[in-house]
Amino acid sequence: MTEQFYDSGFSPEAGSVPDECALPWIDERRYLIGGELRQWRGPLETVLSPLYVDGKQREIGVCPSLTETESLAAVEAVTAAWDNGRGVWPTMRLEERIAHVEDFILRMAAVRDEVVRRMVWEICKPLDDCRAEFDRTVTYLRATVDALKDLDHVSSRFVVEGGIYAQIRRAPLGPALCMGPFNYPLNETFTTLIPALIMGNPVIVKTPRIGKLLYAPLLSAFAGAFPAGVVNILFGNRNVAIPALASGRINVLAFIGSSNAADALRRFHPSPHRLRCVLGLDAKNAAIVLPCADMELTVAEAVSGALTFNGQRCTALKIFYVHASRSKEFLDRFSEAIGKLPMGTPWKQGVKITPLPVPGKVNELQGLVDEAVDMGARIANPRGGSFKGTLYYPALVAEVTAKMRLHAVEQFGPVVPVVSYTNVEQALEAVIASPYGQQASIFGTDPDAVAALVDPMVNQVCRVNINSQCQRGPDVFPFTGRKDSAEGTLSVSDALRVFSIRTLVAAKGSSLNKEIVSNIVRLRKSNFLSTDFLF
Ligand code: G3H
């Protein structure tokens, strides 16, 4: 691997940037509160790309570095929009809320290229994957509308039980704070934001710590599509999130990121039982490779599972337990596959390994690998763990043991720890001992051997993948975790549930009550008590 290779990978020449990724310096001063695009006159945050251009780290632009004052102004705005559940948004008929979301989808689609370009520069996700993230998000929003219609169909009839008539629907919970991660800065924020909104909750979005300028082209779309105060967008960091929670007026925290950050945030809320948390947290998804594994298939899934977007996915395979009889073959094939992974700028055709956006990440990975090697592990691929600037060559680390930090820590980067086992119980015990429980993968061809693992594993993690890498999608599938990996379940339909609560209007079946309810329904006097059918 030559110096020049690394240089062109993270430090391209200005002239080599393709037109579709060309991005002028961005001077963003706006933020959205109470339906108003406000102009910020205070301190600005300089947003840096992990890419260097002509040898200097590229400054993408600036955005507002908001403070407690703006955080509390946003709280005022969502509180007013909620109005103790009497606001226009929480009481609006579903078809009207759906119309607002559909209007937003059209406005959002119009700025796709601009959002994608910014995502490329801010997080260095490969260009095609940035486009896929945007399109997947739009598909998710449309599917959310359909799921809401399905949910409403079930709720639009009365239930009669024990002489009591009831209409059971899902009602909003109140103001929500949504915060997504840097690795899916658009998708993972929107998969909480839009379900929260469509169920009637006014929302504050705090943009991800990396991947924030891509929200700027969406500000006008939010302002134009939703009533005042229903969506509020803040740039900033913890000093924006903490005052909102400390105000006690946020009822739902939707957060995707580390459990440390989630714990640090939620404790600021003065009424812990009032705050509902929807959390997607750390994971250390394990792959167990059985003696009967089809190694070609296994390594193909393993490489994609561990190294897509540099391993920066919460669902990435983050540790491999490989039977000793197949270890050498696994490592040889994995090493060969890494050697073929295209590496470099996010716009390079077919690129898989790109510069890392988190400041200090390269050194953090180096520390994990060095410590493992000092304790007896070895790097099993040529050039593994070498780096320059923000570009880190994937390290396949063999002979990892439970004493090493690499065994327990979520590396969230292109480092692949491999543990060799002789009895599958060792692998299972390690999964049980892990504080995380999102997903796992089993690789094997013998149904008996696979079945023997499935039953114990489904009580450790929330998705067991057979001969397949871990992943969130398809988005209609439940996405959650046990132990320290999640709170609440997300999927197109589950997300509608976590941002709402089953609520009913009930009446004993007296002739007076029947007359009252029937009058209300017939003359459409209530938005809740209604048998209207959404088409
Ligand atoms: O970072 C976590 C994402 O939700 C994972 O989604 O499995 O589709 O990459 P994915």
Bridge partner residues of 48 (DSSP): 59
Kindly state if the Cβ of 183 falls inside 6 Å of ligand 1.
yes
Secondary structure letter of residue 14 according to DSSP: G
The stretches of 59-158 forming alpha helices (DSSP H) are 68-82, 88-91, 94-109, 112-123, 127-155
Half-sphere exposure of 41 (CA within 13 A, CB side): 0
Q: What is the DSSP string of 20-32?
A: GG----EE--EEE
Q: Quick one: pLDDT at residue 533?
A: 83
Q: Among all chains, which residue has been given the structure tokens 């017939």?
A: 522
CA dist list (Å): 163 to 81, 242, 505, 518: 38, 48, 14, 16
Residue 519: CB atoms within 10 Å: 10
Q: How far is the CA of 285 from the centre of ligand 1 (A)?
A: 12
Residues 81 and 73: beta-carbon distance below 8 Å:
no
Task: Work out which ligand 1 atom sits closest to the CA atom of 136.
Answer: 8
Q: Quick one: pLDDT at residue 5?
A: 58
Q: How far is the CA of 412 from the centre of ligand 1 (A)?
A: 12
Cα angle value 51/54/55 (rounded, 5°)? 70
Q: How far is the CA of 314 from the centre of ligand 1 (A)?
A: 6
CA dihedral 20, 22, 23, 24 (to 10 degrees): -130
Q: How far is the CA of 89 from the centre of ligand 1 (A)?
A: 31
Q: Quick one: pLDDT at residue 156?
A: 86
Q: Among all chains, which residue has been given the structure tokens 């304790």?
A: 375
Q: How far is the CA of 119 from the centre of ligand 1 (A)?
A: 16
Q: How far is the CA of 315 from the centre of ligand 1 (A)?
A: 5
What burial letters (b/e) apply to 290-301, b meaning 16+ CB within 10 Å?
beebebeebbeb
For residue 355, is the peptide bond before it cis, meaning its omega torsion is within 30 degrees of 0?
A: no
Residue 264: CB atoms within 10 Å: 13
Q: Quick one: pLDDT at residue 1?
A: 52
Kindly state if the Cβ of 412 falls inside 6 Å of ligand 1.
no
Task: Work out which ligand 1 atom sits closest to the CA atom of 183.
Answer: 1
Angle between helices 187-198 and 127-155 (to 10 degrees): 20
What burial letters (b/e) apply to 153-179, b meaning 16+ CB within 10 Å?
eebeeeeeeeeebebebbbbbbbbbbb
Residues 60 and 28: beta-carbon distance below 8 Å:
no
Predicted TM-score (pTM) of the model is 0.96
Secondary structure letter of residue 50 according to DSSP: E
Q: Where, residue-wise, is CATH 3.40.605.10 in the chain? A: 30-39+66-280
Kindly state if the Cβ of 315 falls inside 6 Å of ligand 1.
yes
- The two tokens of residue 133 are 């993230």
Per DSSP bridges, beta strands 391-392 and 395-398 are unpaired
Distance CA 124, CA 2 (A): 21
Kindly state if the Cβ of 314 falls inside 6 Å of ligand 1.
yes
- The two tokens of residue 523 are 């003359």
Structural fold of domain 285-474: Aldehyde Dehydrogenase; Chain A, domain 2 (3.40.309)
Nearest alpha carbon to residue 480 among 494, 466, 469: 494
What would the pLDDT profile of 272-326 be if each residue is shown by its tens digit?
899 999 999 999 999 999 999 999 999 999 999 999 999 999 999 999 999 999 9
Distance CA 460, CA 482 (A): 7
- The two tokens of residue 363 are 């050194």
Q: How far is the CA of 313 from the centre of ligand 1 (A)?
A: 5
222: left (phi over 0), alpha (psi -120 to 50) or beta: alpha
Residues 465 and 479: beta-carbon distance below 8 Å:
no
Kindly state if the Cβ of 188 falls inside 6 Å of ligand 1.
yes
Q: What is the DSSP string of 189-205?
A: HHHHHHHHHHTT--EEE
Q: Does domain 30-39+66-280 have CATH number 3.40.605.10?
A: yes
For residue 474, is the peptide bond before it cis, meaning its omega torsion is within 30 degrees of 0?
A: yes
Q: How far is the CA of 463 from the centre of ligand 1 (A)?
A: 13
SS3 222: helix
Kindly state if the Cβ of 184 falls inside 6 Å of ligand 1.
yes
- Those residues of the chain that have pLDDT short of 50 are none
> Which residue has the least CA distance to atom 8 on ligand 1?
472
Nearest alpha carbon to residue 316 among 210, 116, 181, 488: 181
Q: How far is the CA of 471 from the centre of ligand 1 (A)?
A: 6
Task: Work out which ligand 1 atom sits closest to the CA atom of 188.
Answer: 4
Task: Work out which ligand 1 atom sits closest to the CA atom of 479.
Answer: 4
Q: How far is the CA of 357 from the centre of ligand 1 (A)?
A: 17
Task: Work out which ligand 1 atom sits closest to the CA atom of 312.
Answer: 1
Q: Where, residue-wise, is CATH 3.40.309.10 in the chain? A: 285-474
> Which residue has the least CA distance to atom 2 on ligand 1?
314
User: Is the alpha carbon torsion for 490, 495, 500, 506 positive or negative?
Assistant: negative
SS3 392: strand
Distance CA 398, CA 365 (A): 15
Q: Quick one: pLDDT at residue 7?
A: 60
Q: Quick one: pLDDT at residue 55?
A: 86
- Distance, first Cα to last Cα, the chain: 59
Nearest alpha carbon to residue 503 among 155, 215, 145: 155
> Which residue has the least CA distance to atom 6 on ligand 1?
472
